[in-house]
Amino acid sequence: MLKFHEYRNPALAIDLVVFGYYEKVLSVLLLNRNEEPFKNGWTLPGAFLQMEERFSEACGRILKTKLGMEHLFLEQLYSFDEPGRDPRGRVISVTYFALVNPRNFGLAAGKMANDVSWHDIKKMPELGFDHKKIFKKALERLRSKILYFPVGFELLDEMFTMTELHELYECILDISIDRRNFRRKILDSEYIIDTGQKREGLQNRHPSLYKFNKKLKQHNFNLNVS
């Protein structure tokens, strides 16, 4: 009897949607391919799953070797199966999305190596394979997740002002939210803690610096925005 992997099986790829937030812009990391198919076109970073490898290990491998990143927030997104999605043959793609603060990886200038760069989600180029679809699904997930889970803290510095958090929400959701109501809701939810410190050196009143409340157990908050 054959072992399972000796049968013909579809290849299994892991593809990542890595979101970064910097200077009031939400961006995604894209790779410029240097080989066919889609040579010189943009795609999401990805790799084939190794036989003994876990999904999370493959994600870590991609993040580290292709992007130089480690220990990011990762969440499985969806698995894609269209038979024609890769012109080279049948490839199933298990996708994950990741959140990163670009400043933690020295990519703040907006560019990395020649073949990797951040792209404003509002100015996305054409993407190879079915990666546009994957990207859309990831953005949808991020937008719904941020309403009931403190996802934003992965994207900001360890300490941040209320205004920075507010701008992040408005940017991701692409809506405007009343500054004062947002503030009250976030503070009531106990997701963040006032560090007692202030951001200094600004032209006007020095805002309080907050950090994420890591001890919070219950995620009993719902940002009800229309």
Partner DNA sequence: TCAAAAGTGTTTGTACTACACCCATGC
Partner DNA sequence: GCATGGGTGTAGTACAAACACTTTTGA
Q: Does 161 bind DNA (CB under 7 A)?
A: yes
Between 55 and 221, CB nearer to a second copy? 55
Q: Mind giving me the DSSP string for 165-205?
A: HHHHHHHHHTS---HHHHHHHHHHHT-EEEEEEE--S-SSP
Q: Does 82 bind a second copy (CB under 8 A)?
A: yes
Choice from 208, 211, 213, 216 touching DNA (CB under 7 A): 208
Two tokens at 142?
Answer: 């991020």
Choice from 56, 181, 195, 197 touching DNA (CB under 7 A): 181
C-alpha 58/C-alpha 82 separation (Å) is: 21
Q: Which stretch binds DNA (CB under 7 A): 46-54, 59-67, 118-126, 177-185?
A: 177-185
Choice from 25, 32, 41, 55 touching a second copy (CB under 8 A): 55
Integer angstrom CA distances of residue 152 from 2, 26, 46, 103, 181 = 48, 11, 24, 15, 18
The interface partner of residue 9, options being DNA, a second copy, none and the CB cut-off 5 to 8 Å by kind, is a second copy
Amino acid at 18: V
Q: Does 6 bind a second copy (CB under 8 A)?
A: yes
All residues at 6 or more sequence positions from 23 whose CB lies less than 8 Å from its CB, including other chains: none
Pairing between β-strand 116-120 and β-strand 73-80 as defined by DSSP bridges: unpaired
Choice from 24, 39, 54, 136 touching a second copy (CB under 8 A): 54
Q: Which residues sit at the interface with a second copy, rule CB under 8 A?
A: 3-12, 48-49, 51-52, 54-55, 76, 78-79, 81-83, 86, 88-92, 94
